[in-house]
């Protein structure tokens, strides 16, 4: 049985944009600025209708809002009321995202995921550079793969942690 929501909540959820969000417009601006126009928006022929799609390069870009897609970088709390509904809603969103990404990778697409929080403040330029590099490199590699754009590389985290430990020992 589906979870019931109030009419007010239903209207608020309907008012949330799924297309042409600020983060999505920013990604498209950065791609055009880098000389990478020619993409398709919400291309229906690709699983999940990626926000930005380069069919010739076989690149699909998903610009995920941190709240709705449950960003792994942000510690976002669940709403305090109707918790069962929200847990189920977010689980369905994550399952849909994983399914669409898996289908695209299986078909040989390079899937780029850009999180909303990686497009803010000091992270914007680095994320944009990573995104442009990944789109440009798409034709050079065979087979599909999933790339989280703008994420801190695991080896950088290890170096940062190691550096922090050594600093603490010196004190």
**How far apart are the C-alpha atoms of 6 and 73, rounded to whole Å?**
30
Place of tokens 């126009």: 37
CB-CB contact of 24 with 32 (8 Å): no
Average pLDDT over the chain reads 83
**How far apart are the C-alpha atoms of 24 and 114, rounded to whole Å?**
9
Q: Which two tokens stand for residue 76?
A: 């976002």
Confidence of residue 164 (pLDDT cuts 50, 70, 90): very low
pLDDT in tens, 125-163: 999 999 999 999 887 766 789 999 987 665 444 444 444
128 half-sphere exposure, CB direction, 13 A CA radius: 21
User: Taking the domain 7-170, which CATH number applies?
Assistant: 3.40.960.10
pLDDT in tens, 61-105: 999 999 989 999 888 898 898 899 999 999 999 999 999 999 999
């Amino acid at each position: 049985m589906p979870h019931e929501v109030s009419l007010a909540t239903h209207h608020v959820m309907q008012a949330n944009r799924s297309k042409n969000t600020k983060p999505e417009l920013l990604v498209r601006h950065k791609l055009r600025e880098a000389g990478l126009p020619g993409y398709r928006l919400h291309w229906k022929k690709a699983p999940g209708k990626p926000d930005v799609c380069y069919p010739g390069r076989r690149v699909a870009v998903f610009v995920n809002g941190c709240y709705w897609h449950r960003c792994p970088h942000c510690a976002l709390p669940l709403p305090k009321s109707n918790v069962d509904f929200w847990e189920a809603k977010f689980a369905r969103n994550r399952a849909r995202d994983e399914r669409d990404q898996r289908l695209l990778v299986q078909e040989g697409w390079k899937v780029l995921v850009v999180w909303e929080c990686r497009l803010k403040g000091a992270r914007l330029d680095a994320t944009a550079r990573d995104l442009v590099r990944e789109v440009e490199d798409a034709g050079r590699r065979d087979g599909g793969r999933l790339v989280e754009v703008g994420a801190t590389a695991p080896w950088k985290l290890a170096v940062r942690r190691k550096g922090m430990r050594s600093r603490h020992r010196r004190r």
